[in-house]
Structure 1
């Protein structure tokens, strides 16, 4: 038997190439009108034994060009191979992509990480698009972007007197006149924690947590901020969470503001632009209406309205009001946008010559957040049965900041777009990572699919007609507990 060395070498090379570059799956992103480039984060399951090293994975676009990729391993199979992974990348708008496995690639280079930790001193992040400093005291963070630099702080205002009797269902109530208040801030917090949660070649996320602190050292409300930066992008995301930790009978949220101290220059939103000097300030505000759901017909419920106002000479002047709400606010080169800004009312952006403010709860609205227990009102609601009322309630807001944005409307649209890949359900099932299950099929399961489709349409209709909006309601699904009656008297069975 003759041995063909050349043929064996060629076969070996082909086999090696096959082993070295195995495509794991193909997927696409919907062709949203996203700014280019745009960061994405998504998860994928892998079949057992398919890959062991996250550094051996790489991402390609439809033209075969490699894309920046950061992989976090969330779970492994019993044999140690990858089971669930979280991927970060920066893509163009829409298009086809594929994930590949290349065993010879080796482990990921940790030297490419965005953040730099120091034994003593602040955490430093440098993406090529922005530089950040996150200290353990003082300002929450400082930034440098070209000729723009600034720092961020939080301010909390609590009203310590009751605004009046509770109003069933409504948590957005008038503050009342001449009520006592107490001010707190993030700058005086001496127990702040700074934790680097993610640090890779594409994305770095820093968790900043602490307490709002008054001048006398007393504390109220917790804050948690997750600050995210992406390699090469002049862009930041600040996920701001506050926790209502105080007793609700004598503590009412009156104002909550994230302030970016920076040079203003000009401000604009929608079709309005103003130069900033002296006490000049521009505001975009959505204050909303009292939140009654079952006591008021849905036909009487109004859509939120945005007011654009100008401050000059010590007073505010309304420039326009509209149900068409701009999703962004600009201050000089900086563009700010908040996910679901219009639906998370009350909300406000304002800018003056000294900086930009995102008002999570606008003091200028004249309203407070009432979390008191509604004694004797609608006892079938579990939240009304809570002895401490809404104490412990928390809410998160997603604030995006970007510099030199050419199309702010497109940027705001991207902030409010869910950008997840479209992958074959068959791929998910074949990996076995989620166990055994049957794929959706209107042909094989017509009654089940019809029931599921109807129920989701019902939920969407309820949210739309009921206008389940506002900071404490948007994003929740209006479901009654099993075995109880709703406001119409209909019973919801146990099964």
Structure 2
């Protein structure tokens, strides 16, 4: 290691150098780190501010101040009364000194969980009925109480069977898919998931996790790679299912017409004792028997009717002879379907059997996506999260009148039009770069033939699968559907997260003055505006849900959904980070769930997971893959890591790990190929031109996360190599980019030209640098970054007095005010802190701070429907204003007050 590079927390953090500035690291946390005191109190709360009626099992992350917790220390969880509850924990990340930075904690499923909890030192309590996992050569058996799941390690049965007590209530569960040869009226081929690899990731006692990987096979073809995780929690009669697949087909020939999970359900009761339940509205339930006894011309008797409605066995002696003797004359209904083909409408139909007509049963708006079939002696329920949000979805029950029914949760409904992954446009004469740049100039879309490719996009879905010992009551089924649709979530309190000094620069909400209250109000209003826009604008659908639009069209009063690069945001200018920092400081459920849905989308749909673009993401566009700019700034691990640390989510962990080698993709994907003007330099093999923010900063987020998660110093050393080499360039960060040697991880060349891009610091570079400079002391790099922060928003006359090179174009001034605030805080420069405050409050090239709530409601023929507009809003401006507001409140709170007073006067 080079002299002067110290891998540790900087002693020179300079907290509170500015008069009245809030210390970013509370004194108690600093003392705990230095003295090694007992662990800080760690309260945990439900994000909805109340205990849920049903928890399906919980996993949440806990941060620790550096030096406070050593690996191997035992941790427990207490309920609101201070009594230990069963728990299981494991490390997620470490500090450079080896102490634990994040731990994850799992709690059992409960009907009446505690209103709040606390993580404490001590040996965790084991559950009364722990999760037991046994692995053999060909299967994995998980037992939770009286429920037993047998999971395949190869073949087509993902789950081979499920027992409740001594009875097998479920046969095999398989992944199924179909594909059509053309969008309409084509030949349909069917596929079944095949397990190629099974990995036990956790064995209990509170939580067990099994990871299955494979392909869908059929018609002599293997495709649609999948990863499936099955989670078992103590106290539960269910498995949580996290299903991920990659579209690896040909968009011009492969039109997916069905994608789902299908369970086989043994049926051995009399038809009138077989029951179907399908969730409808928020707590509504479609409840019917295969052979109905109610509504008949002859009354079977109150006891018989009551038992059937409750899902209980009907005693034949309780049935009136006039009905009992004619049961065979009552039609049995074997097949049921709920189709949710849009976000605002579903229909339930049923038929007696194949070959007979379908009968309309009922319809509604938004089903919660749970289906059940079974009898008083057991059955199966399955539910898909985001069911109506990711339409077209479907629940099918088939053969309920036979010895074996099937229950299918369709993630893509076979009743809908097949999935069309083709480009939305043709070449339009833009074969050459000159014409493509003209297209970019008019529609803001970067287009190149063949680069608008959906092959490699992925989607993750979350489901819950229950093995029921009896038909659950209506209230229980409604609670199950709700717990799956809106999963309760525990989160460490924002105060406790802040005290751990993790995840960069932010502070708790502060309404101690009118100005701060205005800023806090706008932060709340912005999140609420976007959460409401999701529903008002219908930002739903299998591939769209979780993203938001980029820019608003004030003439049409719609977002520019059909205009090139102005359509879907695809993480442009870091809305993901804005929302997650809002979550960190507020803990609000609405912000959490908006950010969670965005993370599920942007890390999967907007990123390539195989093929030539693997590891890169797609710039904003009409389709999530339509823009030909493929860059690390979109696949950025910085956008996933906060969710990962708050929840311990393994799928997001996989996605971030897959990005670690993604710099290699840039050897064959030239992301700057269309830049007009001078000929691009020919670089040696293995050397690629990297911008410092949009490329290296995005890759650094993946390396930082991998170093934290594994302790592998290779990634620390790669970070140091990049940091040190940037610091050695003549103009450091102001050079903007430089040739990068992929093998050594170092930038090469003199860096003797200044190139300042308004994009370099707005894709997580500010946030990643805040963490890098906390963890790794590379003096040259720190100086280079502070120079960049100082000069980006400098006045032209200040620049000219210092540099002999032209000032150049600037943009996003209010968003970049946090760079000025950072150097002011780091150097104790009160003049810079005042400048930063003026930049932020000036609102130049940004959203600006409103005086009151700017939202305006509209209706009438000039609008598609009831509309709310925020004048001048764009997702770029909202994201950067939100981040600047959060970070400036932490860095220069008193300077903001002074600048506001100056502005008033």
Q: How high is the TM-score relative to the length of structure 2?
A: 0.45
Contact 1:185 1:214 in 2 (8 A): yes
Shift, 1:278, TM fit: 7.2
Aligned to 2:363: 321
Q: State whether structure 2 residue 346 is matched by structure 1 residue 309.
A: no
Shift, 1:385, TM fit: 7.3
Shift, 1:232, TM fit: 2.8
Aligned to 1:127: 144
Aligned to 2:423: 373
Shift, 1:348, TM fit: 0.9
Q: For 2:446 and 2:520, locate their aligned partners in 1 and report how far apart those are by CA, in whole Å.
A: 31
Instruction: Give the counterpart of 2:523 among 423, 428, 452.
Output: 452
Q: For 1:83 and 1:409, locate their aligned partners in 2 and report how far apart those are by CA, in whole Å.
A: 39
Shift, 1:208, TM fit: 1.2
Q: State whether structure 2 residue 108 is matched by structure 1 residue 57.
A: no
Q: For 2:93 and 2:340, locate their aligned partners in 1 and report how far apart those are by CA, in whole Å.
A: 43
- 1:50-449 correspondence to structure 2 within 5 Å: 50-54=68-72, 56-90=74-108, 91=110, 92-102=112-122, 105=123, 114-118=132-136, 120-135=137-152, 136-142=154-160, 143-146=162-165, 147=167, 148-161=169-182, 163=183, 176-177=184-185, 179-186=186-193, 189=194, 192-216=196-220, 218-264=221-267, 265-269=274-278, 270-275=285-290, 280-288=334-342, 304-313=344-353, 314=355, 315-323=357-365, 325-332=367-374, 333-352=379-398, 353=400, 354-365=405-416, 367-376=417-426, 380-381=444-445, 387-402=451-466, 403=468, 404=470, 405-406=472-473, 407-421=476-490, 423-443=492-512, 445-449=516-520
Shift, 1:55, TM fit: 5.4
Shift, 1:58, TM fit: 0.8
Any idea what SS the aligned residue of 1:472 has?
coil
Any idea what SS the aligned residue of 1:262 has?
strand
Q: C-alpha deviations, 1:243-292, integer Å up to 9, x for none?
A: 1100100110111231101224321222331317977211121112xxxx
Shift, 1:200, TM fit: 2.5
Aligned to 2:548: 477
Any idea what SS the aligned residue of 2:171 has?
strand
Any idea what SS the aligned residue of 1:368 has?
coil
Contact 2:51 2:116 in 1 (8 A): no
Q: For 1:130 and 1:383, locate their aligned partners in 2 and report how far apart those are by CA, in whole Å.
A: 54
Q: C-alpha deviations, 1:156-206, integer Å up to 9, x for none?
A: 111112x3xxxxxxxxxxxx23x12222212xx3x6111122332111111
> CA 1:238 to 1:418, structure 2 compared with 1: closer, same or farther past 3 Å?
closer
> CA 1:319 to 1:33, structure 2 compared with 1: closer, same or farther past 3 Å?
farther
Q: C-alpha deviations, 1:369-407, integer Å up to 9, x for none?
A: 111012259964569976253222222221112225442
- 1:1-12 correspondence to structure 2 within 5 Å: none
Q: For 1:385 and 1:139, locate their aligned partners in 2 and report how far apart those are by CA, in whole Å.
A: 41
Contact 1:248 1:388 in 2 (8 A): no
Contact 2:87 2:125 in 1 (8 A): no
Q: For 1:232 and 1:108, locate their aligned partners in 2 and report how far apart those are by CA, in whole Å.
A: 12
Any idea what SS the aligned residue of 2:69 has?
coil
> CA 1:236 to 1:55, structure 2 compared with 1: closer, same or farther past 3 Å?
farther
Q: C-alpha deviations, 1:409-437, integer Å up to 9, x for none?
A: 11111112242335442222222233454
Contact 2:59 2:490 in 1 (8 A): no
Contact 2:85 2:125 in 1 (8 A): no
Q: C-alpha deviations, 1:211-244, integer Å up to 9, x for none?
A: 111143x112112211111123111111122211
> CA 1:484 to 1:160, structure 2 compared with 1: closer, same or farther past 3 Å?
closer
Contact 2:445 2:565 in 1 (8 A): no
Any idea what SS the aligned residue of 1:271 has?
strand
> CA 1:386 to 1:428, structure 2 compared with 1: closer, same or farther past 3 Å?
farther
Q: RCO higher in 1 or 2 (8 Å CA, sep ≥ 6)?
A: 1
> CA 1:33 to 1:48, structure 2 compared with 1: closer, same or farther past 3 Å?
closer
Any idea what SS the aligned residue of 2:480 has?
helix
Contact 1:54 1:108 in 2 (8 A): no
Contact 1:331 1:351 in 2 (8 A): yes
> CA 1:279 to 1:97, structure 2 compared with 1: closer, same or farther past 3 Å?
closer
> CA 1:271 to 1:159, structure 2 compared with 1: closer, same or farther past 3 Å?
closer
Instruction: Give the aligned CA root-mean-square deviation in angstroms.
Output: 3.4
Q: For 1:57 and 1:411, locate their aligned partners in 2 and report how far apart those are by CA, in whole Å.
A: 30
> CA 1:381 to 1:457, structure 2 compared with 1: closer, same or farther past 3 Å?
farther
Shift, 1:151, TM fit: 1.1
Q: How high is the TM-score relative to the length of structure 1?
A: 0.79
Contact 2:369 2:481 in 1 (8 A): yes
Q: C-alpha deviations, 1:42-94, integer Å up to 9, x for none?
A: 11101233322455111111223211111120112233322101111125345
> CA 1:184 to 1:129, structure 2 compared with 1: closer, same or farther past 3 Å?
same
* Count of aligned residue pairs for this structure pair: 438
Contact 1:308 1:318 in 2 (8 A): yes
Which protein is bigger by CA-based radius of gyration?
A: 2
Structure 2 runs not aligned, ≥5 long: 1-35, 268-273, 279-284, 292-330, 429-438, 552-559, 568-621, 623-868, 881-905
Any idea what SS the aligned residue of 2:530 has?
helix
Shift, 1:344, TM fit: 1.4
Contact 2:60 2:491 in 1 (8 A): no
Contact 1:220 1:245 in 2 (8 A): yes
